[in-house]
Structure 1
Amino acid sequence: MHVFVAGATGAVGRLLVPLLLDAGHRVTGTSRSRAGAERVGARGASPARVDVFDRSALHEVMAAAAPDAVIHQLTDLSDADGEATNRLRVEGTRNLVDAAKAAGVRRIVVQSMSWMYAPGDGPAIEGELLDLSAPEPRGSIVNGIRVLEETAAEVDTAVSLRFGVLYGPGTWYEPGGPVAAALSGDPDARFLGNIVADNSVNSFVHVADAARAAVQALGWPSGPVNIVDDEPARGREWVPVLAAALGVPAPAVVSGGESWARGASNTLARSRGWRPEHPSWRAGFADLAT
């Protein structure tokens, strides 16, 4: 299969490209920069230097590649710019889907998020509603995810991978990264949100497990799938472990928590054969320190 990877140099994309090649796929990978395109080529894929907001150029690149499938891994989080990333999810996805449809692509896999569900009891499953009535700034993020998934669904087969909080190399949750800076009290830390040791529940996924899920999703039927590890956890449990792994001070444990922060279940992904090599954040965080 010829796979077009949009965002081939991001945290997931840089791991995804070699996995696709190892699985026997042909890969075209995009980057906005010359240096990024060179990195894609060095990994053995065909590089395509293009900006997803340039509709005409994107159509030309997609038509020339004529892929069988598209994997959308575009984000813009290096500067912790939530508005820019939301624009990618809305306008960027629109352009990508239009170009894919024009080129005859019938399968797409997109990067979504698992913490967009409405408040409820226990870990969320895929059939539950998104938190569309959430106040700002969460409301805009949830709506961006809704638009992302609905736009992707215009392609014949569209799989939305609802990733847990990504950690590992190239993510915010790596040693010396934005989370470590935020926990250390750096006022210039570029990080969206707060790390609070409360009763809010999160689900995590190692970035390598997320990349493996994207490869497997090329054979899955349409719809959303939670890609999370086996152990949703309260902040009061995971925050001290993460701080220790990153070698930074842990914030004090506090009461309370967000009603929407409930974690997610990976039962559906496991039923389709996905098995995380990092089934718990406990061992995964410990690996960060090695």
Structure 2
Amino acid sequence: MHVFVTGASGHLGSAVVPELLEAGHKVVGLARSEASAGAVSAAGAEPFRATLDDLDALREAAEAADGVIHLAYKHDEMFSGDATTAVDSDRQALQTFGQALAGTGKPLVGTSGTLQLAFAGLGRTGTEADVLESGPRVDAENAVIALADNGIRSSVVRLPPTVHSSLDRHGFIPTLIDIARKQGFSAYVGDGANRWPAGHTLDAARLYRLALESAPAGSRLHAVGDEGITFRTIAQAIGHNLGVPVTALTPDQAADNFGFLAALVQLDNPTSSMRTQKLLDWAPTHPGLLEDFAQGHYFDSPNES
């Protein structure tokens, strides 16, 4: 299969592209810079020089492909406070892919997150059957699923907040470790009993490939290995590995310590992937988050993000 992948040189893309190539697919990867193009080429894929804002180029690449995996997102803009730009760019890219693939039966695999279920306040473990009405990433997810009615075999992979591995350089875990290094202590809020799910990068990459190859139209999929690790446990593991104390903060103290992550580190987000595992015969086989911590790669050198 000839697959067009956005975000091909990023954290997930650096695992998804090799996964696809090893399965015999041909990969064309979106590259917004010479450095990104070099990384895509080094991985064995063909770089396609454009950005998420080059809609004509995106349409051309999607029309030439047998399927699309959409990983790219303007995270820098979102975390800098310009969430509207990130959301609008993602929406326009998805609309373009929808127009290019309409009526073809070809697959489009989009990306979302499990944290949206935490914001919904389910009060229980989230599942693939949970569908929300609105929200920045929710609207994009629902738009992808709706494309199933337009002759596209569309699906969405919901990623947990911690997608971890030695490939993870700028995600939530490196950021939390960097905060703990700078503050001299690792922190959680309240009793730290709120839970975060986690998934290994390589397990997620395999799920994206399986979704491309065989996910039924309109599928929501969860790339989750650990259903829910208490945030206190995560903080304790970071503190242990850094050799710094672990501290409980009040909600009022969270912003000073965690910055833009203050609200997120207090969310309770237990999430199941049982339906995904049964649907696609997929199961996590790589180390869980705490096992990954024990391998040391997160703590070998300070985060350079």
**TM-score of the superposed pair, with normalisation by structure 2:** 0.77
Within 5 Å, which residues of 2 pair with 1:18-97? 18-63=18-63, 66-77=64-75, 81=79, 83=81, 87-97=85-95
- Does the CA-based 8 Å contact 2:203-2:284 persist in structure 1? yes
Matched residue type, 1:210? A
Shift of 1:254: 5.5
Q: Is the 8 A contact 1:73 1:111 kept in 2?
A: yes
Tell me the secondary structure at the aligned position of residue 232 of structure 2: helix
Q: Structure 1 CA distance, aligned partners of 2:245 and 2:170?
A: 16
Looking at structure 1, the residues matched to 73 and 65 of structure 2 have their Cα atoms a distance apart, in angstroms, of 21
Among candidates 119, 122, 128, match of residue 121 of structure 2: 119
CA contact (8 A) 2:31 2:51 kept: yes
Number of equivalences = 270
Q: CA deviation at 1:49?
A: 0.8
Output the CA distance in 1 between the equivalents of 2:80 and 2:141. 18
> In structure 1, what is the equivalent of residue 181 of structure 2?
184
Q: In 2, distance between residues paired with 1:56 and 1:108?
A: 18
Distance (whole Å) between structure 1 residues aligned to residue 110 and residue 177 of structure 2: 28
Map of 1:202 onto structure 2? 196
Q: Percent identity?
A: 24
1:214 aligned onto 2:212: no
Matched-pair contact (CA < 8 Å) for 1:198–1:255: no
Q: Which digits, 9 at most, give the CA deviation of each residue in 1:233-270, with x for residues without a partner?
A: 2111222113334x263531468898851310010121
Structure-to-structure mapping, 1:212-251, within 5 angstroms? 212-218=206-212, 219-221=214-216, 222-245=218-241, 247=242, 249-251=244-246
Q: Deviation at 1:100?
A: 5.1
Question: Cα–Cα, structure 1 residues 50 and 5, in superposed 2: closer, same or farther, change >3 Å?
Answer: same
Question: Which of 138, 154, 157 is 2:153 aligned to?
Answer: 157
Moved more, 145-154 or 82-91: 82-91
- Could you tell me whether the CA contact under 8 Å between 1:202 and 1:232 is conserved in 2? yes
Q: If each structure's helix is expressed as a fraction of its own residues, which one has the higher value?
A: 2
Question: Residue 139 of structure 2 is aligned with which of 147, 165, 177?
Answer: 147
Q: Structure 1 residues 49 and 58 mapped into 2: Cα distance closer, same or farther (>3 Å)? A: same
For structure 2, the residue ranges without an aligned partner over 5 or more in a row are 252-262, 301-305
Q: Deviations over 1:36-88 (max 9, x none)?
A: 1122112111110111112223223434xx11110011123357726556634
Given that 1:230 and 1:279 are in contact with CA atoms closer than 8 Å, whether structure 2 keeps it comes out as no
Query: Against the structure 1 CA distance between its residues 48 and 248, is the aligned structure 2 distance closer, same or farther, given a 3 Å change threshold?
Result: farther
Q: Which amino acid aligns with 1:145?
A: R
Alpha-carbon offset, residue 178 of structure 1: 2.6
Structure 1 gaps of 5+ residues are 133-142, 188-193
What is the distance in 2 between the residues matched to 1:9 and 1:37? 8
CA-based RMSD of the aligned residues comes to 3.0
How many angstroms does 1:284 deviate by? 2.2
Partner of 2:290: 282
What's the TM-score once normalised by structure 1's chain length? 0.81
What is the DSSP-based 3-state SS (H/G/I as helix, E as strand, rest coil) of the residue aligned with 2:170?
coil
Distance 1:166 1:100 in 2: 27
